[in-house]
Amino acid sequence: MIIELPKKFDYESKAKMEDGVLKILPGAYSHSFMNELTIAIKGKTCWYCGRKLLNSDITIDHLYPQDLGGPYITNNLAPTCSECNGRKGNMTERQYRNWLAAPPKQKSEIRKRFLVSNMRQKRNKGYYLPREWITTRKIDNILVNFIMSESYFGKRYKKIESFYQEFGHLPHPIIVDRNNYLLDGFIQLMFAKNNGITRIPTIVLDNVEVILNR
């Protein structure tokens, strides 16, 4: 998929735009990096109420919630005030906007209906994301910068294990660049490898490239 990118961007000499492609050094991708990209694209105005925000007031909302598989990419992120972010909770952007427009007496029931629907989607069909965002990759084809000292049998691993046991699928797609270099999802990749899962849901960022030979 093509993610939203600013026309110009320089991130501490670790990332730059070149011919419409975001080129980054290994390790440059992070949630804070995606936050900065999002603000560079969408500004410092709350996505929902339109309030101008100071840097200290900005929170980053997932338009498709993380609990529903929402990835940390610019297409799924927006700057918001803390009030809107808190009220939205685990609703999608569309659901939240419908909730905002609803009569006050109906808001509680509408929220409940949306959340029940989201849980059903999560349990029966997997991610609540646009189909065109997700493909699959063989885990043996994913390029990983593996740190031998990194321990992955911790709380995050156990959380993924519990989720898989309950729902039968991984909680999020992994994210790779256009050359299958892993950007996000190392723990999920290790869980898949350890449990004989040969293909893994993947979001491929076709306009992002990790520069391995500088």
Query: Which residues of the chain fall below pLDDT 70?
Result: 11-12, 146-151, 214
What is the model's pLDDT at position 147?
56
What is the model's pLDDT at position 173?
95
Considering only CA atoms, give the Rg of the chain.
Answer: 18
Residue 194: C-alpha distances to residues 19, 153, 173 (Å): 39, 11, 17
What is the model's pLDDT at position 148?
46
Total residue count of the chain as it appears in this document: 214
**Whole-angstrom distance, CA of residue 100 vs CA of residue 110:** 10
